[in-house]
Amino acid sequence: MLTDEKRNRLIQKAVAARENAYAPYSNYQVGAALLTRSGKVYTGVNVENAAYSVTMCAERTAVFKAVSEGEKDFAAIAIATDNAGYSCGSCRQVLAEFGLDTIVLVINGEGKVVDELTVADLLPKAFSPADLDS
């Protein structure tokens, strides 16, 4: 369950993480904070590259950090941008891999939640591990 305390902590961490984004080309800084069901929070930022195709989004950075530490059961993710932008398709697919019921908080530059939904809402009819079963 996402209590008010956990929600506020997640929002604060996403907003703070955004300050570390490396976005010299787009100037579009993104911070993410991912809450695991065990209670740990993993942050991520977007990291751009002059070879644009190897840029990494904040959401995937947070997920990959969590998975590299053995966490694969996610409760919620907060995504902070100046204009409350939504996750790209690649991030939606990566989040879907670990649970369509993960709560997604979309945060604006003032730290306010402008939308709360699930990964399933972001990516309806997602391709999932179940689709690989014969």
Q: Determine the structural domain holding residue 87 and report its residue range.
A: 4-132
The alpha carbon of residue 90 and the mean position of all alpha carbons in its chain are separated, in whole angstroms, by 11
124-133 pLDDT, tens digit per residue, is 999 988 899 7
Q: The pTM is what?
A: 0.95
Count: domains in the chain: 1
* CATH assignment at residue 18: 3.40.140.10
Are 19 and 53 a contacting pair, CB within 8 Å?
no
42-88 pLDDT, tens digit per residue, is 999 999 999 999 999 999 999 999 999 999 999 999 999 999 999 99
- Residue of 5, 19, 48, 59 marked catalytic: 59
31-47 pLDDT, tens digit per residue, is 999 999 999 999 999 99
pLDDT value, residue 130: 86
Nearest to 130 by CA among 104, 100, 103: 100
Q: 75-92 burial, b if ≥16 CB within 10 A, otherwise e? A: bbbbbbbeebeebeeebb
Q: Report the C-alpha gap between 40 and 63 in whole angstroms.
A: 12
Note if 19 is an active site residue: no
